[in-house]
Amino acid sequence: MAASARDPHEPLPEPPQGRGRHARDRVSQRQGGGFARWLGETTIIIVSALVLSALVRAFLVQAFFVPSASMEDTLAISDRIIASRISTTMGGVNRGEVVVFKDPSDWLPEPPPPEGGARGMVRTALTFIGLLPSDTGKDLVKRVIAVEGDRISCCNADGRIVLNGEPLVEDYVKGSTNQVQFDVVVPPGGVFVMGDNRGNSRDSRYHLQVENGAVPASEVVGRVVLVLWPLNRIATVPVPEIFDSPAITQGATP
**Annotation marks residue 70 as catalytic:** yes
**Annotation marks residue 142 as catalytic:** yes
Which of 142, 174, 201, 204 is an active site residue?
Answer: 142
3-state SS string for the chain? CCCCCCCCCCCCCCCCCCCHHHHHHHHHHHHHHHHHHHHHHHHHHHHHHHHHHHHHHHHCEEEEECCCCCCCCCCCCCCEEEEEHHHHHHHCCCCCCEEEEECCCCCCCCCCCCCCHHHHHHHHHHHHCCCCCECCCCEEEEEEEEECCCEEEECCCCCCEEECCEECCCCCCECCCCCCCEEEECCCCEEEEECCEHHHCCCHHHHCCCHHHCEEHHHEEEEEEEEEECHHHCEECCCCHHHHCHHHHCCCCC
Which of 70, 87, 134, 204 is an active site residue?
Answer: 70
Q: Which residues does the annotation mark as catalytic? A: 70, 142
